[in-house]
Amino acid sequence: MDTERTTQDRQAKLAAYDALRESRPDMFVNPPGAAYEILLDRADQNRAYESMAQRLTARGLPAHYADIGVVHDDLYLTLVRDAVRFRTGDLGTYIRVVPRGDADGAAVLPVLADGRIVLLRQFRHASRTWHWEIPRGFGDPGERGAETARRELFEELGVPVSELVHLGPLHSDSGLVAGTDQLYLARLAGTGIASDPGPGPHAEGIDAYRAVSPAELRDLLADRRITDAYTLAAYALATARGLLTG
């Protein structure tokens, strides 16, 4: 019975994988010279599974760590384990996170009319600590990056935007995450921010706002008090383009 359930579970993971390939073919492209070739033939996938399972069991690890397909799926992301051929010719598996849907996430560097940059003090579950960072969020279905950026600013800051500048795309973790997020600089239509985030942002883990000059932001970076990748990347792109002064 356990073997039957295991077989059914693996078949379900592969069926979900095939459905994902059909809906998101861009996520399964093998470009010329790819260092890790995704194997789409079922016989090749089975050989890759067997090869990886043998290596895992030799290390005292469960063979199901080599299961191929959609190994987890929820409201926010899909965890996929592909069968791959490495440059050495060896077969194995490689895991990655595929965002739900085809809408990019967005992060926004908010700049007040006086040139100060607004940071949020937000608690993050994954790191189990507080971070000074910029607004960001997942894209809703059918939403473009700029729309996501404006929505996140409204939800987290409640400040109107006078101009939105696209800074560029970001691969937040190119070794694990398959999707692309979009970075923006938003020029806000005022010089002040609320003293308290309010119930909406507070429920999202935001407990304070802080407006800092570009020089003060550089000091925070130099002191290693900002570690959020989106904030670091947005600052780097805005600085490289000469969009921050002071």
Which pLDDT belongs to residue 145?
A: 86
Q: State the average pLDDT over residues 145-149.
A: 90
d(C-alpha 144, C-alpha 93), whole Å: 33
CB of 153 within 8 A of CB of 111? Answer: no
58 contacts: CB under 8 Å, gap ≥ 6: none
Quick one: which H or E segment has residue 13?
helix 2-23
Say yes or no to pLDDT of 1 above 60: no
Say yes or no to pLDDT of 21 above 50: yes
Whole-model pTM? 0.91
Pick from 148, 226, 204: nearest CA to 181: 148
CB of 164 within 8 A of CB of 149? Answer: yes
**What CA–CA distances, in Å, run from 126 to 123, 129, 133?**
9, 8, 15
pLDDT (tens digit per residue) in 24-79:
999 999 999 999 999 999 999 999 999 999 999 999 999 999 999 999 999 888 99
Q: State the average pLDDT over residues 146-165.
A: 91
Which pLDDT belongs to residue 2?
A: 54
pLDDT (tens digit per residue) in 81-140:
999 999 999 999 999 999 887 778 899 999 999 999 999 999 999 999 999 999 998 888
